[in-house]
Amino acid sequence: MEKISVQHLNFFYGVKQVLTDISLPIDDRQITALIGPSGCGKSTFLRTLNRMNDTIAGARAEGQILLDGENIFAPTMEVTQLRARVGMVFQRPNPFPQSVFDNVAFGPRILNGARAQALTALVEASLRQVGLWDEVKDQLGQDALRLSLGQQQRLCLARTLAVQPEVILMDEPCSALDPLATLEIEELMRRLRERYCIVIVTHNMQQAARVSDRTGFFWLGQLVEYDATQTIFTRPRNALTEDYITGRAG
């Protein structure tokens, strides 16, 4: 089922065009990977999906992005509600310098001033979802910055899940992590796939091949090829894609 439909998206930082005529469907309960060389606009594309680019002066988007059929650029779209529905995990783990509990409780508190009991349950459920509960259940009051980087990244994921989003965007979520922590995150993604629509940007070809259902290849702000991950990695239609995934270009 189609969750997001991007239609003829152009994107500009001031006068500099970074994305050109991007169109693609993104399915629910699937993992969609975006790959491409540095500077080709993957992060920019990801950040248009939850309108995080709105915070950058001079940034401007053209075209349409439909979320469940509704244009996210429409004036009736509340950007805070959009971001609650489309969560994001960043490249470097960025927990707040607050306790583990307060980190996960942040979203529910600001969005609906959640009541204490419901909040405790929600925090526990979110931490369980990312497999962190057993590791931190005795130190919920501890400063989140004292966790290991891998734990911090899973905490950030739990923080996003606590908002109960429909879509989860991940921008190179493993690039700051060691191989073991990376595998943990990938394992998590496979589990979360049952319930969420996941879009991940990655520089790691194997990772895209391992976890994703569909892969899109970006090149200089254009979407060169978008297909089932298997197809992209075994018989890409475009020569540029082939060169990139085999390491001859990029």
Partner 1 sequence: MSERANWNEFLIGAVIRVIGFSTIGFVILIFFFLLQQGAPALTQTSPGEFLGTRWYPTLELYGMLPLLLGSLLVTATAIVIALPLGVATAVYVREVAPSWAREILKPLIEVLAGIPSVVLGFFGMTMLAPFLRETLNLPTGLTAFTGALILAYMALPTMTSVAEDALDAVPKSYRDAALAMGATRWQTIWRVSVPAARTGIMTAVMLGIGRAMGETMVVLMVTGNAARMPTTWNSLFLPVRTMTATIAAEMGEVAAGSAHYHVLFFIGILLFVITFMINLAAAPAILAKRRRGGLR
Ligand X SMILES: Nc1ncnc2c1ncn2[C@@H]1O[C@H](COP(=O)(O)OP(=O)(O)OP(=O)(O)O)[C@@H](O)[C@H]1O
Provide the binding-site residues for partner 1, judged by CB under 8 A: 50, 52, 55, 80-84, 87-88, 90, 92, 94-98, 106-107, 109-111, 156, 159-160, 163
- Which of 97, 179 has the CB closer to partner 1? 97
Contacted entry of Mg ion, partner 1, ligand X, none for residue 3, CB cut-off 5 to 8 Å set by kind? none
Q: Do residues 127 and 136 lie in contact, with contact meaning Cβ atoms separated by under 8 Å?
A: yes
Instruction: Measure Cα distances from 8 to 26, 64, 82 in Å.
Output: 14, 7, 20
Q: Do residues 34 and 49 lie in contact, with contact meaning Cβ atoms separated by under 8 Å?
A: no
Q: How far is the CB of 218 from ligand X (least distance, A)?
A: 7
Q: Do residues 154 and 132 lie in contact, with contact meaning Cβ atoms separated by under 8 Å?
A: yes
12, 13, 90, 106: which one contacts ligand X (CB under 6 A)?
Answer: 13
- Which of 43, 53 has the CB closer to Mg ion? 43
List the structure tokens of 16. 């500099």
| Segment 31 to 50, residues that bind Mg ion, using CB under 5 A | 43
Region binding ligand X by CB under 6 A among candidate stretches 21-29, 34-42, 141-149, 173-181: 34-42
The β-bridge partners of 25 are 5
| Segment 58 to 87, residues that bind ligand X, using CB under 6 A | none
- Which of 47, 214 has the CB closer to partner 1? 47
List the structure tokens of 218. 């970006």
Contacted entry of Mg ion, ligand X, partner 1, none for residue 41, CB cut-off 5 to 8 Å set by kind? ligand X
* 152 makes contact with Mg ion (CB under 5 A): no
The conformational region for residue 142 under phi > 0 = left, psi -120 to 50 = alpha, else beta, is beta
Helices 179-192 & 149-161, crossing angle to 10 degrees?
A: 20
- Which of 110, 118 has the CB closer to partner 1? 110
9, 22, 26, 43: which one contacts ligand X (CB under 6 A)?
Answer: 43
Which amino acid, 158? A
Continuous segment of H or E residues that includes residue 13:
strand 2-13
Q: How far is the CB of 50 from ligand X (least distance, A)?
A: 14
Residues near ligand X (CB under 6 A), total: 11
Question: What is the C-alpha separation between 17 and 151, in angstroms, rounded?
Answer: 37
HSE-CB of 26 using CA atoms within 13 angstroms: 31
56, 121, 228, 239: which one contacts ligand X (CB under 6 A)?
Answer: 56
For 208-220, give the secondary structure using H, E and C: HHHHCCEEEEEEC
> What is residue 238's three-state secondary structure?
coil
* 103 makes contact with Mg ion (CB under 5 A): no
Query: Which residues make up the interface to Mg ion (CB under 5 A)?
Result: 43
Query: Which residues make up the interface to ligand X (CB under 6 A)?
Result: 13, 18, 36, 38-44, 56
